[in-house]
A and B are shown apart, each in its own frame.
Chain A
């Protein structure tokens, strides 16, 4: 049996008397790309923080096999360390510079290795953040709306990049997003989070890159799960 990278059973997270996660179950298989959709405030980040080990107040059973890296919505780079240092800091027992250079080459930022983070554009900073997460060769890569703040064109380029990186390194990925097209374009499995649990699961057609036209019907169904009917959306 293939090992599961993430196994969550009966996860409950309460803030005050509000149950943000309510008896949630989730499995992410090894090397699988899972997208988690949900409206704003549905508890996506809360779930991710539990999986990243940043929230130890949650009840329930959470097992993560292997190492974890996170890329957040904000790149969260250290502004006072150069780009290559941001990528390699915290890594131990490696040749930091060459490892960083290799990772930066993968996100097409070789020329910016020496730059200060504040001089980067939003997309570039987010690519550094991706390189920083990937350079740790994580078994599980958690992405919390990492492209939410980017313009549409940059976002498309980032989708191709993430797809590419995932195919090359094959970590398990849990991508949290509220962008349906992003989820459908990238994931093996699309989950919908609502009222504190996973309420729906969809499997986009295999094969990449996916054509937008092939996804229209699935898109409508996912929208319905999110409580949006198409004439409302139009």
Chain B
């Protein structure tokens, strides 16, 4: 089977084609700068500190949004998952809200939060919270009743059952929710940063657009993509560590 290094053949080939198309003028720089130009712009933005500053601002928005969203999703998910009344009271409204296209809430968010950091963070929080809530709730509810029964006979206290049965049972599903949620969080950030941003990666991209700097636009996109990949790798590492009981040799 062909694998390993050969998998890079076509991506590198495409990059070469792109470079050739730019070099021969088939692809004008106003539409899309060449890979080497993008690389140069990247180095430029990085050394001037602009890229680093934008990166920090955007990362902060995501981290805050994810933190807020996690608190909300875990609180609601645990309430709905662990108590009958919690499920009755919490789940229906959340399921209804879920059907709203949440990016359509931007106008409301601007009215509520203005155009500063808050609507961007709120958008990330909202986008992140739904997948996490749904998966935490489902994970808790799917706890094997046979295990609960067995541990009841074994004299586990309620707290021990929560700690050693329910929460670990829900963890794999919760981690799926975390991964889905982070994917939505990055999208929310990109959309949110279109709102009147004066800093961050979205601002950097919009600014570049105004000057037709397609090289800088692509640099911004590459950084977005890199951040998405990095968080995904982070969650995978977390999964491997937290779910190592599943990786039977």
Contacts and interface: CB of A to CB of B under 8 A. Distances in A.
Interface of A: 52-54, 68-70, 72, 74, 76, 78-81, 89-92, 116-119, 132, 136
B30 interface: no
A80 B247 CA distance: 11
B79 interface: no
A79 B245 contact: yes
Interface of B: 146-147, 149-157, 160, 164-165, 168-169, 171, 243-246, 248-249
Contacts, number: 57
Given A54-B149, A72-B146, A80 B154 contact: no
B165 to A, nearest CB: 6
Contacts of A132: 154
B146 A118 contact: no
A70 B243 CA distance: 28
B164 A70 contact: no
Contacts of B248: 116, 118-119
B72 to A, nearest CB: 26
A80 B245 contact: yes
Given A78-B165, A80-B168, A119 B153 contact: no
Nearest to A117: B245
Contacts of A79: 245-246
B148 to A, nearest CB: 10
Given A70-B150, A116-B244, 15 more contacts: A53-B153, A54-B152, A69-B153, A74-B146, A76-B147, A76-B149, A78-B151, A79-B246, A80-B168, A90-B155, A90-B156, A92-B155, A118-B246, A136-B154, A136-B155
A112 to B, nearest CB: 13
Contact of B164 (A69, A76, A81): A81
Contact of A72 (B150, B168, B171): B150
B160 A90 contact: yes
B153 A118 contact: no
Nearest to B150: A76
Given A89-B164, A90-B160, A116 B153 contact: no
Contacts of A136: 154-155
B153 A52 contact: yes
Contacts of B152: 54
Nearest to A52: B153
A54 B153 contact: yes
